[in-house]
Copies of this chain bind each other. A is one copy, B any other.
Amino acid sequence: MFVNYIDWDLMQVAVLLFDDFETLDVFGPVEIFGRLKDIYSIGFYSLTGGSIGNGHGVSHHTLPLEELANGTDIFLIPGGYGTRKEVQNEELVQSIRNISGKCDFILSVCTGSALLARTGLLDNKAATSNKRAFEWVSTQGINVNWQRKARWTVDGKYYTSSGVSAGIDMTLGFLSDRHGYPFAKKVADELEYLWTEDKDQDPFYELYEN
């Protein structure tokens, strides 16, 4: 599926924030979508809106998720320590479920797939997560087809990545799927980023399996 670059409407990327989100899970993909200003537009959201921070000293203003009641084009769900608490937040999980049902694409990074798994929307779908949190994440969706060896997974409209940096690789992979490989490779080169281009090539699988 290729996007027409001269579409009048930018594709909206809604980034979910919650307390103790992982910095790079968010700002890796944001760097990529953000520099493609002619195609994508980014907004930050949280359950109640306002300023949301993490233990790295980073905070960002957000709009309330209810503003996404009609869905959006792309919904980005990061991971981080905060997911440990938020998987128990029924209101947030319900909100993610409702919004995801009305989005064209849902992308999770790292332990963000735990939050997404809690909605049930990943049941019988392929998904992955951070290597070091894999056991815990797996328990958040026992019917998910968890892929331990994957830089990222794609199943229908759901993209999920391995830990932290893998969100960058996945977002480049998303660009490749939508705009073609040369387009994505050009972005990777501009970022001087050593992109793991094959989603099934997982440089960290063996490290954490041994």
Contacts and interface: CB of A to CB of B under 8 A. Distances in A.
Interface string A192-210: 1110100000011001000
Integer count of this chain's copies in the complex = 2
Interface residues of A, number: 43
Contacts of A55: 34, 37
Contacts of A101: none
Main SS of chain A's interface residues? mixed
B194 A166 contact: no
Given A43-B57, A59-B60, A193-B164, A28 B34 contact: no
Contact of A34 (B35, B58, B60, B192): B58
Contact of A31 (B24, B34, B41, B59): B24
B57 A42 contact: yes
A173 interface: no
A149 interface: no
29 contacts: A23-B27, A23-B34, A24-B27, A24-B28, A27-B27, A27-B58, A30-B56, A30-B57, A30-B58, A31-B56, A31-B164, A34-B55, A34-B58, A35-B56, A42-B56, A42-B57, A42-B58, A59-B61, A60-B60, A130-B192, A131-B192, A164-B190, A164-B192, A165-B168, A165-B192, A165-B194, A189-B207, A192-B203, A194-B194
